[in-house]
Structures are given as structure tokens and as C-alpha cells.
Amino acid sequence: MIKIENVSFKYKESGMILNNLNFQINEGEILAIVGKNGSGKSTIGKLISGILKLKNGKILIDNIEISKNKNAKELNSKVGIVFQNPENQIIFSNINDEIAFSLQNLSKEEIEKRIKTSLQKVDMLEAIQKDLYTLSLGQKQRVMIAEVLAKNPKYIILDEPTTMIDSTGKEKIYEIIKNLKSQGYTIICITNLADEILLADRTLILENGQIVAEIHKNELAEKINILKKYEIKIPTILEIIEKLKEKGINIELQDYNVEQLVNSLNKVCNLE
Ligand SMILES: Nc1ncnc2c1ncn2[C@@H]1O[C@H](COP(=O)(O)OP(=O)(O)OP(=O)(O)O)[C@@H](O)[C@H]1O
Ligand SMILES: [Mg+2]
């Protein structure tokens, strides 16, 4: 579990960005963090992953405090972060070299094993011989996720992982995120995209450096007004559910996908 306790943060030249922030990330969940541009989402990701140094408050990763931990390396390896634009993260054109770069202290056999296993997890093993620069943006991002996975993290922060990627590439990454969750990883998805809220078990809304709302997956349809209040883009499927509700048709979905919507609508229609 990751605990964020009374965390405040400002950059050298900025006003207060995070304001006595408190929340926790549970093991095995997909947590979405949403909020307007500039609300501090990426700052949170950088603090948890140790890129930015915490000044006020505490961050505990599996009960070990980040700033007070002497063995920063061990703690760092528990959290991996992937950013929006894979092209800014790539250093080598060779996929092996790229992933091996962050595994320097391991044996050759272990490095090979980790590269293979992590590429398998993002369905990119067949591209292992390819030049990274010849891949699509979505494929590049999958390699960036593999690079993080190769370090055997427990927590993976994805900071707008699909914002730059076309819709087919997005869907593939969503499938990978769901698979990673089923393998036991904990995923923090920082996002501006409505569809990514639907992947999450829980969504936190950030405003003025504080968490102003928490919405569990099964409450999304009933709490649509909270998303609207904070100007979060609404997933289309939630809009459809809301429109149907206005017409007196109440639909409850376990998973927010079109197939379930159609099944549920069929049921409702047959009953009438
Ligand atoms: N290095 C920096 N120095 C000064 N101010 C910064 C720095 N990085 C970010 N900021 C400011 O901190 C605030 C929060 O930025 P952050 O990137 O965390 O927001 P965000 O919610 O991720 O935004 P976006 O949705 O645009 O990605 C913004 O006002 C930003 O301008
Ligand atoms: Mg950001």
C-alpha cells in the first residue's frame, strides 16, 4: 500500500501546487487520478516515484517512508513510471539495449530473462529484433511499459499513457493495463481521458492541490454529477446510461462496455 500523508509541494518558482494532500493506493487496484490541466497530477506521480524530492508530509511505500529511507534504490525499484510521450523516453534504437540499460547490475542471463518476460507482458516479444524508431507510437509506449516492468516494480504509475496514441493503440494498452492488474500489479493511471476512468477501480479527483472526490467504479453512473462539477470529461457510456435514466430506463453495469450495455438493454426491453 502507498500512503500519502499531509503532502504539500511547491516548485521553486511556483505557488502551492499540492495542498496538504492525503490519500492511499491499495494493493492490486487500478487507481485513476484526474483533474484539470495544471492541477498537480504529474507532480504527484513524480513525488511517489522519487523523481521530485518530498519536502512536506510523508509518503509511505509498504510502510517505509520515502524520504527517510536509506536504501533509496530498493524503494525506487518498487515504483515504476511511464510518461505521456514514448519518444521523449527512448534512449536506444535497439529494444534489447533500451530495456537492458536500466538493469545494469544484473547477470547477463537475468537481464535476458527479464527483457523477454517484460516484452511478453506487453505483447511485444515478436518485435525484439526491431528498431524502436520503426515502431508505431503505441508500440513504442508498450516497450516503455516493458522497460519499467523489467525492473520488477510492484506499483506502476502511468502518466497519461495513451494521450498521444491512436484509438487502436489505446485499446491495446487498455488490454495490457487490465492484464497487469490481473497479474497483481498496482496501477496508478494519471489521466485526462474519459475512457481511462472506466478502467479504474477507483477514481480520485484533484483540484487546487487536494483530493475533492473519490468515486468507486460501481458508483460512476450515480455520481456523474460530481465528474461534471469538476469539469472532468464524461465517458460516453456513462452519458448513455444517464440519458436512458432520464427516459425512465435504469441500467446497472458491472463493467462499462458496449457489450454489457447492449445485453442489459435487451433484458430491460424483454421485460417490458
Ligand atoms: N518544474 C516546474 N517549475 C515550476 N512550476 C512547475 C514545474 N512543473 C510543473 N509546474 C507547475 O505546477 C502545476 C502542476 O503541474 P503538473 O504538471 O503537476 O499538472 P498536471 O495536472 O499534470 O497537468 P497536465 O494535465 O497539463 O499534465 C502547473 O501549474 C505547472 O505549471
Ligand atoms: Mg501532467
Predicted local confidence at residue 73, as pLDDT: 61
Residues 250-271 as b or e (16 or more Cβ within 10 Å = b): ebebeebeeeebeebeeeeeee
Instruction: Please spell the DSSP secondary structure of 110-140, one letter per residue.
Output: HHHHHHHHHHHHTT-GGGTTSBGGGS-HHHH
Q: What are phi and psi of 213, to 5 degrees?
A: -155, 150
Q: What is the pLDDT along the chain (272 residues), one digit of tens a residue?
A: 999 999 999 999 999 999 999 999 999 999 999 999 999 999 999 999 999 999 899 999 999 888 755 556 666 689 999 999 999 989 999 999 999 998 988 999 999 999 999 999 999 999 998 999 999 999 999 999 999 999 999 999 999 999 999 999 999 999 999 999 999 999 999 998 999 999 999 999 999 899 999 999 999 999 999 999 999 999 999 999 999 999 888 888 888 888 888 988 888 887 55
Count Cβ atoms within 10 A of the Cβ of residue 187 and give its class: 0-12 exposed, 13-18 middle, 19 or more buried. Answer: buried
Centre of ligand 2 to C-alpha 267, Å, is 41
The bound ligand whose nearest atom lies closest to the alpha carbon of 46 is 1
How many whole angstroms separate alpha carbon 198 and alpha carbon 196?
Answer: 5
User: What superfamily in CATH does domain 2-231 come from?
Assistant: P-loop containing nucleotide triphosphate hydrolases (3.40.50.300)
pTM of the complete model beyond 0.85:
yes
Q: How many residues appear in the chain?
A: 272
Q: How far is CA 37 from the centre of its chain?
A: 16
Which residue's CA is the closest to the ligand 1 atom numbered 28? Answer: 38
Centre of ligand 2 to C-alpha 196, Å, is 15
Q: Which among 92, 81, 82, 84 is positioned nearest to 133, based on CA atoms? A: 92
Domain ranges in the chain?
Answer: 2-231, 235-272
Centre of ligand 1 to C-alpha 44, Å, is 10
CA atoms within 13 A of residue 231's CA, in its CB half-sphere: 5
**Pocket of ligand 1, beta carbon within 6 A:** 11, 13-14, 17, 35, 37-43, 192
The identity of residue 45, as a single letter, is: G
| Cell (9 digits) for 99 | 530495456
Q: In Å, what is the CA distance from 106 to each residue of 63, 117, 148, 223?
A: 27, 15, 15, 48
User: Do residues 212 and 226 lie in contact, with contact meaning Cβ atoms separated by under 8 Å?
Assistant: no
Task: Return the DSSP state at 54.
Answer: P
Alpha helices in the chain (DSSP H): 41-48, 72-76, 95-100, 108-121, 137-149, 167-182, 194-199, 224-229, 236-246, 258-271
The bound ligand whose nearest atom lies closest to the alpha carbon of 83 is 2
Q: In Å, what is the CA distance from 19 to each residue of 14, 30, 31?
A: 13, 24, 20
| Cell (9 digits) for 135 | 515502431
Count Cβ atoms within 10 A of the Cβ of residue 10 and give its class: 0-12 exposed, 13-18 middle, 19 or more buried. Answer: middle
Predicted local confidence at residue 5, as pLDDT: 96
Which residue's CA is the closest to the ligand 1 atom numbered 27? Answer: 37
